[in-house]
Amino acid sequence: MSRVHFPAVHVRHRQIIHAPKKIVVGETHRVCEVLALSGGLLLLLFPFLLGCSQKEKEFTVLQWNIWQEGTVIPGGYDAIVNEIARLRPDFVTLSEVRNYENTNFTARLVQSLKEKGETYYSFYTYDTGLLSRYPITDSLTVFPEKNDHGSIYRLTADMNGQKIAVYTAHLDYLDDAYYNVRGYDGSTWEEIPIPTTVEEVLKRNVASQRDDAIRLFIEQAKKDRAAGYTIILGGDFNEPSHQDWTEETKDLYDHHGFVIPWTVPVLLDEAGLKDAYREFYPDVLNYPGFTYPSDNPAKPADKITWAPKADERDRIDYIWYYPEKGLKVKDAAIFGPKNSIVRAQRVQETSKDKFIEPLGVWPTDHKGVLVTFQYPAK
């Protein structure tokens, strides 16, 4: 991260005033507030202060599948709390919220974070969850969970004068046709013959309810955009991307020669949204960004995989956005262990992907995605 160093400033009466020595670029707006209060410096630092007024603002979004709300791994819940408190994202989109024993998981999470000095807001959800550092002005169920076929929720908030709508999606895990390509049935995970055509794969893929859910999201997002909201969508889609299954990768990761326009990402692409990770890292070979299956040292490798004889690595956890109002991606990282599971074995990734590794217990079988967005200050 770049740092700005301010030299000593000499003024009359031979006084020397030292400005802060190390200023993180992303925090310049905080420095502006301090300097603006120092009347003696105001004129001397006017050019810098002028730049402050034009500085872009930032916010962060974390997408994280927490594997049955952290119950699968001993110490999983505490790890979820600790990592969110460490990363301090502005918004968190969670997958696999279960509200076990008639609890309100996100309310419990908000309370645990408060005990660590971190303030978040949420509302009751099931299957997916949302956390916001900003007070929630409205909430909505876009695609209700029924028979474990996924869900989508949305919150709105006022982010320092910027209206924002954040959606969380955990899409249908059945009819996962990218497993069919790898020789496993995408609903039963029994070994099957590999399909022979893209049409056969996509027919199985749309038998799920993933595309139904995303069409409802697109419809609601249009309304929110018309009302002036910035749109963010995070989620575990249980479906890979057409930007990852390309000519370049058709003979890698057990794609078996297939180039596939996967349904849900194509729908989002056609609706004008951008895939934040792939937008920031267009090089699919050096930055595959795999989010599943993540290694977890607390579990035997063969207990994490759905396809023990295949390389099932894929990027199925996403953050999408509408690139308008000057919104752009400043940074993106994979949050989780560097190891993945390949053919029921632990394998360390050798890609150029940027990893934020956990400090302690890893509570899940997914890796998260952390994106920093930038937008013009008003």
Q: How confident is the model at residue 325 (pLDDT cuts 50, 70, 90)?
A: confident
Domain segments of the chain as ranges: 3-53, 61-375
Percent of the chain's residues with pLDDT above 90: 84
Would you state the pLDDT for residue 54? Answer: 56
pLDDT digits (tens, 9 = 90+) for 115-168: 999 999 999 999 999 999 999 999 999 999 999 999 999 999 999 999 999 999
Residue of higher predicted confidence among 91 and 12:
91
Contacts made by residues 200-205, CB under 8 angstroms, sequence distance 24+: 201/177, 201/258, 201/260, 202/177, 202/260, 202/261, 202/263, 204/175, 204/177, 204/180, 205/175, 205/177, 205/178, 205/239, 205/262, 205/263
Residue of higher predicted confidence among 126 and 37:
126
Residue of higher predicted confidence among 325 and 109:
109
Q: How confident is the model at residue 93 (pLDDT cuts 50, 70, 90)?
A: very high
pLDDT digits (tens, 9 = 90+) for 216-275: 999 999 999 999 999 999 999 999 999 999 999 999 999 999 999 999 999 999 999 999
Instruction: Kindly tell me if the per-residue pLDDT of 43 is higher than 50.
Output: no
Mean pLDDT of 24-46: 43
Instruction: Kindly tell me if the per-residue pLDDT of 11 is higher than 90.
Output: no
| Length of the chain counted residue by residue | 378
Mean pLDDT of the chain: 89
Instruction: Kindly tell me if the per-residue pLDDT of 279 is higher than 70.
Output: yes
Q: Is the pTM of this model over 0.75?
A: yes
Would you state the pLDDT for residue 281? Answer: 98
CATH code at 61-375: 3.60.10.10
